[in-house]
Amino acid sequence: MASVTRKGEKRPWTTYALGSLFGLFLVFLYGPMAVIYVLSFQGPEGGVTFPMVGTSLTWFRDIVKPGQMANIPVSFSRSLELAVLVSCITVAVSVAAGLGFRRKFPGSGALFYLAIASLVMPSLLVGFGIGLGFQFLGWQTNLFTSALGAQLTWTLPFGLLAMFAVVNRFNRSWEEAASDLGATAWQRLVHVTLPILLPGILGVAMGAFTLSYDEYARTTLTIGTKNTLPLEIYALISSSSSPTLFAIGTITTAVSFAVIGVTLLLVFRMQRRRGLMKAA
Amino acid sequence: MIGRGTVASVQTIPAARNRWKLPSLRLQPWLVSWMQVAPLALILVVLFALPTVLFLAVSFFDYDRTGIYPAFMLDNYQELLTTPATLRVYLSSLKFASIVWAITLFLGFNIAYFLVFHVRSATLRIVFFLLCAIPFWTSGIIRTIAWIPFLGRNGAFNQLLMDSHITSKPLEFLLFSDFAVIITYVHLFTLLMIGPIANSLSKIDPALLEAARDSGASRWQTMVNVVIPLSKTGIALGSILVFTQVMGDYFVVKQMSGGQSASIVSALSTEIQAMQYPPAAANAMILVIFVAILVAGMMRVVDVRKELVK
């Protein structure tokens, strides 16, 4: 990658125009979210809009208080469990498939379009189809069967597309070198291919985790009786209009940020170590 | 990871080093690939293809208040296609999709171009990318309702306008309107444009841009004749993602239009809640066909697969 201008050359006016557009876009992207994070610390007398009437943690305490919010903590842990599971399956399946797609094989086109179709299918319809299937079979829809399956139809195509980008940048001569040096296929996979792809694989894991953790439309018709957090939040929107909703939003965002942050930290550390090794 | 253990046999390995091993199975390369993609194929067939076929079948079923009955009748479709409400809701969704598509394409392309070609420092570029991507990994529901205290009558935006004396009284059209729906969609989906387009742009050899400039092409000519043709895969993929997300949405319209607009899927979910599965399935089928035609149309323009897998 390189820029339109060389180093030291005067930047064209378009840089400033596009830069301002990008700055405005970031304000647009983060502005409204910042508003709800601030409002979640609203004082006990305050409402869902500005002005702030003091600051407090009242609305955060409301979440764990028994009562209307009783389902929030338990649905939160369910969401986490499901997201971890979805993330693991997505990594295993899409990494294998990403490697498989490096060769042309009979049916590769059909499978690719099946994945794209699964990605672009209106989300609620996927849940509807799976829910109907369970009903016909006389099975009870459940968090770890139907809801897990419904989420995989969304995270797997994303994982596959991400793996295409990761695998594209992978230089196959590394693998050839390993084979030439006598590595078995297994050794080559474990000691060469996977470590090189690891930053990308972590990205897929994180993407799948956050997509699952926040997923609503595919899950709603396949969840059975025990809700995940986004479903609980959805139910709250119509029934409650207190800053508690914002407090929940602040917490879920904090969790997403923590997952993203830890992943990025790992990836950067890995890249840096690699950079050092290259330099040495 | 099934099948990885057999790949070695495909390539030539010095025999001497493996002499102590059992003669390994010689699998065809395509068979190895098959084993690698088998889990994906299985999951997609069982959890996506079969359920879709199932609701295709159910859309021809008969139903009453107590249950659904296997049959082959076109009544569900006939009813759906002769109701003026169907056309209205499709037109409304198409209107939203086109407006949002145009805005996100403009924003997405310009931002991707800025990030790839104007930001010189690689670290800064990564940071900027992350700034765009991070909200996408947080809850869509939260990001939707985040607009309510922002756009409302007493919301932050109106207060800002009044404090700076741009308007004397709060603007009413901001929340619970088409405007609110569109702005929420743009907020949610612009990244789906930025990502694929930036991916395409970063594959363009900068030497091509220099060559264009050296041969006397203006900035605009370079853009139209070099950059845009080379990034059309990204544009197509981004367009497909944005279009289908908007067509398949039911949360944003419900929440942000204040009941003034309906979406295809919200009409459908009402039927599902009423246990009227066959008409809901017929409705779903029409939507699927509609989306499939749109996507196939865009895929005809650009061979997305060839560009992605190469």
Number of domains in chain B: 2
Q: In this model, does residue B95 exceed pLDDT 50?
A: yes
| B10: in domain | yes
Q: In this model, does residue B202 exceed pLDDT 90?
A: no
| B57: in domain | no
User: What phi and psi, each to the nearest 5 degrees, are found at residue B152?
Assistant: -60, 175
A148 to chain B, any CB pair closer than 8 A? The answer is: no
Residues 104-133 of B with CB under 8 A from A: 107, 110-111, 113-120, 122, 125, 128, 130-132
State whether B39 and B175 are in the same domain: no
Give dist(CA A249, CA B303) in Å, integer.
40
- Average pLDDT of the segment spanning A3-24: 78
State whether B119 and B3 are in the same domain: no
State whether B101 and B224 are in the same domain: yes
A194 to chain B, any CB pair closer than 8 A? The answer is: no
Instruction: Express as a percent the part of chain B with pLDDT over 70.
Output: 90
Give dist(CA A185, CA B5) in Å, integer.
5
Give dist(CA B285, CA B281) in Å, integer.
6
User: Which pLDDT band holds residue B20 (cuts at 50, 70, 90)?
Assistant: low
State whether B94 and B31 are in the same domain: no
Amino acid, res. A223 = I
State whether B111 and B44 are in the same domain: no
State whether B18 and B121 are in the same domain: no
| B62: in domain | no
User: Which pLDDT band holds residue A5 (cuts at 50, 70, 90)?
Assistant: low
Give dist(CA A95, CA A197) in Å, integer.
9
Give dist(CA A53, CA A172) in Å, integer.
61
Residues A36, B149: C-beta atoms closer than 8 Å: yes
Q: What H or E segment, with its residue span, contains residue B63?
A: strand B62-63
Q: What H or E segment, with its residue span, contains residue B62?
A: strand B62-63
User: Which pLDDT band holds residue A9 (cuts at 50, 70, 90)?
Assistant: low
Q: What is the ipTM of this complex?
A: 0.85
Range from A69-83, A202-216, A238-252, B108-122 carrying the lowest mean pLDDT: A238-252
For residue B4, give every residue at least 6 positions away whose Cβ sits within 8 Å of its Cβ, in sequence order, or none.
Answer: A96, A99, A185, A186, A189, B36
Q: Pick the closest to residue A190 from A175, A200, A204, A205 (CA basis).
A: A175
- Average pLDDT of the segment spanning A153-161: 93
Cβ neighbours of A111 in B, within 8 Å: 37, 40-41, 44
Residues A120, B287: C-beta atoms closer than 8 Å: no
User: Tell me, what CATH number does B267's domain have?
Assistant: 1.10.3720.10
Task: Supply the pLDDT for residue A115.
Answer: 92
Give dist(CA B171, CA B301) in Å, integer.
42
Give dist(CA A248, CA A73) in Å, integer.
10
| DSSP three-state, residue B80 | helix
Q: Pick the closest to residue A131 from B127, B55, B66 (CA basis).
A: B55
Residue B11 has its nearest CB partner, among A112, A126, A179, at A179
Angle between helices B29-44 and A71-100 (to 10 degrees): 160
User: Which pLDDT band holds residue A8 (cuts at 50, 70, 90)?
Assistant: low
Residues A49, B304: C-beta atoms closer than 8 Å: no
Q: How many CA atoms lie within 13 A of A4 on its CB side?
A: 22
For A113, which residue in chain B has the nearest alpha carbon? Answer: B305
Q: In this model, does residue B15 exceed pLDDT 50?
A: no
The residue with greater pLDDT, B224 or A46, is B224
State whether B156 and B275 are in the same domain: yes
- Average pLDDT of the segment spanning A81-93: 95
Task: Supply the pLDDT for residue B51.
Answer: 92
State whether B138 and B274 are in the same domain: yes
| B6: in domain | yes
- Average pLDDT of the segment spanning B58-72: 80
The residue with greater pLDDT, B232 or B18, is B232
The residue with greater pLDDT, A184 or B111, is B111
User: Which pLDDT band holds residue B23 (cuts at 50, 70, 90)?
Assistant: low
Give dist(CA B106, CA B94) in Å, integer.
18
| B73: in domain | no
Cβ(B180)–Cβ(B151) under 8 Å?
Answer: yes
- Smallest CA–CA distance, residue B116 to chain A, in Å, is 7
* Sign of the CA dihedral with B273 first, then B275, B277, and B278 last: negative
B62 beta partners: B69
Count chain A–chain B contacts defined by CB atoms under 8 A. 320
Residue A122 has its nearest CB partner, among B114, B280, B287, at B287
Give dist(CA A240, CA A234) in Å, integer.
10
User: Which pLDDT band holds residue B101 (cuts at 50, 70, 90)?
Assistant: very high
Q: Pick the closest to residue B275 from B58, B71, B75 (CA basis).
A: B58
CATH superfamily for domain A73-231+258-279: MetI-like (1.10.3720.10)
Candidates A102, A128, A156: best to mutate against B (most CBs of B within 10 A) is: A128
How remote is the C-alpha of B11 from its chain's centroid?
39
- Smallest CA–CA distance, residue A125 to chain B, in Å, is 7
**What pLDDT digit, counting tens, does each position of A125-154 carry?**
899 999 989 988 888 888 888 899 999 999
For residue B92, give both structure tokens.
Answer: 């409304």
State whether B265 and B201 are in the same domain: yes
Task: Supply the pLDDT for residue B106.
Answer: 95
Neighbour tally for A12: CB within 10 Å: 13
Amino acid, res. A252 = T
Residue B135 has its nearest CB partner, among A29, A132, A176, at A29
- Average pLDDT of the segment spanning B134-147: 83
Q: What is the DSSP letter of B21?
A: S
User: Which pLDDT band holds residue B102 (cuts at 50, 70, 90)?
Assistant: very high
Range of the domain at B44: 1-49
User: Which pLDDT band holds residue B159 (cuts at 50, 70, 90)?
Assistant: confident
For residue A218, give both structure tokens.
Answer: 């595919």
Q: Pick the closest to residue B188 from A217, A14, A231 (CA basis).
A: A217
Residues A124, B36: C-beta atoms closer than 8 Å: no
Task: Supply the pLDDT for residue A280.
Answer: 58
Q: Pick the closest to residue B278 from B72, B17, B42, B138 (CA basis).
A: B72
Residues A257, B138: C-beta atoms closer than 8 Å: yes
B202 to chain A, any CB pair closer than 8 A? The answer is: yes
Calculate the dihedral angle through the C-alpha atoms of B119, B123, B128, B131, rounding to the nearest 10 degrees: 180
| B209: in domain | yes
Question: What is the CA angle A35-A36-A40, rounded to 5?
Answer: 120
B156 to chain A, any CB pair closer than 8 A? The answer is: yes
The residue with greater pLDDT, A278 or B71, is B71
**What pLDDT digit, counting tens, does each position of B227-271 carry?**
998 888 889 989 988 998 898 887 888 888 877 777 888 888 888
Angle between helices B84-113 and A13-39 (to 10 degrees): 120
The residue with greater pLDDT, A5 or A96, is A96
State whether B104 and B149 are in the same domain: yes
Residues B187, A156: C-beta atoms closer than 8 Å: no
Q: What H or E segment, with its residue span, contains residue B188?
A: helix B178-201
Residues B305, A112: C-beta atoms closer than 8 Å: yes
Q: In this model, does residue A239 exceed pLDDT 80?
A: no
Cβ neighbours of A15 in B, within 8 Å: 114, 118
Task: Supply the pLDDT for residue A257.
Answer: 84
Task: Supply the pLDDT for residue B1.
Answer: 40
Residues B281, A132: C-beta atoms closer than 8 Å: yes
Task: Supply the pLDDT for residue A93.
Answer: 96
- Average pLDDT of the segment spanning B115-126: 86
Neighbour-count burial of B25, counting CB atoms closer than 10 A to its CB (0-12 exposed, 13-18 middle, 19+ buried): exposed
Calculate the dihedral angle through the C-alpha atoms of B147, B152, B154, B157, rounding to the nearest 10 degrees: 50
Residues B1, A92: C-beta atoms closer than 8 Å: yes
Residues 41-60 of B with CB under 8 A from A: 41, 43-52, 54-55, 58
For B150, which residue in chain A has the nearest alpha carbon? Answer: A32
Q: What is the DSSP letter of B115?
A: I
A106 to chain B, any CB pair closer than 8 A? The answer is: yes
State whether B191 and B288 are in the same domain: yes
Rounded to the nearest integer, the mean pLDDT of chain A is: 84
For A92, which residue in chain B has the nearest alpha carbon? Answer: B1
Residue B156 has its nearest CB partner, among A15, A35, A117, at A35
Neighbour tally for B165: CB within 10 Å: 7
Residues A237, B145: C-beta atoms closer than 8 Å: yes
Distances (CA, A) of A87 to A79, A95, A156, B143: 12, 12, 9, 22
Residues B310, A168: C-beta atoms closer than 8 Å: yes
Q: In this model, does residue A160 exceed pLDDT 90?
A: yes
Give dist(CA A163, CA A201) in Å, integer.
8
- Average pLDDT of the segment spanning A11-39: 88
State whether B102 and B18 are in the same domain: no
Task: Supply the pLDDT for residue A278.
Answer: 64
Cβ neighbours of A252 in B, within 8 Å: 138-139, 142
The residue with greater pLDDT, B270 or A47, is B270
Task: Supply the pLDDT for residue B176.
Answer: 82
